[in-house]
Amino acid sequence: MAEAAVARETLFALRETIARLEGRPIPALAAAAHEARVAEPAAGSADAIQPLATGVADLDEAMQGGVPLDALTEIRSLALRDAGAASGFTLALAARLRVLAARPGGQAAGKTAAVLPVLWIGDTVAGMEAGLPYAIGLRDFGLEPAGFLQASPRKLEEALWLGETALASAAFSVVILEVRGNPARFGLTESRRLALRAKAAGRPLFLLRQAGEEEASSALFRLAVEPAPALARPLPDGSLLGGSIGHPAFRLTLEKSRNPAPFSITLEWNAHDRQFAPVLDAQHPAFPGEYAAHSGADLSAPADRPDRAQAMGSVLAFGRSA
């Protein structure tokens, strides 16, 4: 512990020296981070904030216990058409946090999360293309609309400021910041500031990156989310209800963690019980993109053009004319 403290002191001293040599003021966030690390409780102590367990043993083990509740976690969709899956998984985590916090015996941070609202900071362009959270849909998904606040800043700078302010206020159980793509004005420096705010406030921040590529950030974990086919809904007698819509399913890939290789798993979300359940890959015939949703013709016959030529009949041999 003493060696680690000395190393941190040396690192901050070097940063201050470099800032002075370059003629820049010493960042206030660096000083705040220094104070936060000094006052940070030791790992395993009673005051340490326990992570949010997903309830799936393999995923919790890969994430060292679950989703951290005092750090930045990035959740990204590979394409904008998958925005619903990434948003749904993020909201499912928020719903699970609130329900676990409301149960008896929850930790101190969890009990606070049970009564504090959820803040969604949406992206204007992503909202125009993928839609906005819907009150009735939130209730069906496991979140109460009365405890859900939505903000729609016009500029990215305003969204970042709002995210930092919301974290510093500690007035929300979780802050969800939606960003479209990989904007140049949101890089490693900005993510570092948000991570420091989350650490100092002891609140989770979910960075929801819609249609973004992998890039360096201060997130402890990064999850890529894709939609997965839903299973048939089971009946009380153990049979399956054919032709019904099952629970939402997500294909997760843990891209950034302490694991040497990416970890992938398919989960389904039970909004009634507010819990995840693993889905075996063998239960799915194929993943999205491997088969067409409609097995008919790719394109229908045009309505404003002549009909397609009919197939020719029998070919007769005619004699050559002289």
Residues 4 and 151 occupy one common structural domain: no
Residues 6 and 153 occupy one common structural domain: no
Q: What is the mean pLDDT of residues 238-256?
A: 86
Long-range contacts of residues 60-69, Cβ cutoff 8 Å, at least 24 apart: 62/254, 62/257, 62/259, 62/263, 63/221, 63/254, 63/257, 64/257, 64/258, 67/93, 67/204, 67/221, 68/204, 68/220, 68/221, 69/97, 69/109, 69/110, 69/113, 69/202, 69/203, 69/204
Residues 27 and 51 occupy one common structural domain: no
Q: Contact, 177 vs 208, CB < 8 A? A: yes
Residues 93 and 203 occupy one common structural domain: yes
In a domain, 298, yes or no: no
Q: Which amino acid is at 56?
A: V
In a domain, 160, yes or no: yes
Please state which of the ranges 105-109, 134-138, 141-145, 241-245 shows the lowest mean pLDDT. 105-109
> Rounded to a whole number, what is the largest CA-CA distance in the chain?
109
The pTM is what?
0.74
| Position 87 pLDDT exceeds 50 | yes
What's the pLDDT score for residue 208?
A: 97
Distances (CA, A) of 15 to 7, 24, 31, 166: 12, 11, 11, 27
What's the pLDDT score for residue 32?
A: 46
In a domain, 202, yes or no: yes
In a domain, 302, yes or no: no
Residues 136 and 155 occupy one common structural domain: yes
Residues 17 and 125 occupy one common structural domain: no
Here the CATH number for the domain that contains residue 168 is 3.40.50.300
Tokens 């209800």 locate to 241
| Position 262 pLDDT exceeds 60 | yes
In a domain, 300, yes or no: no
Domain that holds residue 68: 47-232+243-283
In a domain, 238, yes or no: no
Residues 182 and 223 occupy one common structural domain: yes
Residues 14 and 140 occupy one common structural domain: no
pLDDT tens, residue by residue, 150-182: 999 999 999 999 999 999 999 999 999 999 999
- Token duo for residue 237: 């007698």
- pLDDT bucket at 2, cuts 50 / 70 / 90: very low
- pLDDT bucket at 282, cuts 50 / 70 / 90: low
- pLDDT bucket at 43, cuts 50 / 70 / 90: very low
In a domain, 237, yes or no: no
Distances (CA, A) of 259 to 51, 200, 222, 253, 262: 17, 26, 12, 12, 7
Residues 165 and 115 occupy one common structural domain: yes
Domain count, the chain: 2
Residues 113 and 10 occupy one common structural domain: no
Residues 155 and 212 occupy one common structural domain: yes
Residues 35 and 51 occupy one common structural domain: no
In a domain, 312, yes or no: no
Long-range contacts of residues 146-149, Cβ cutoff 8 Å, at least 24 apart: 147/98, 147/116, 147/117, 147/118, 148/117, 148/118, 148/120, 149/117, 149/118, 149/119, 149/120
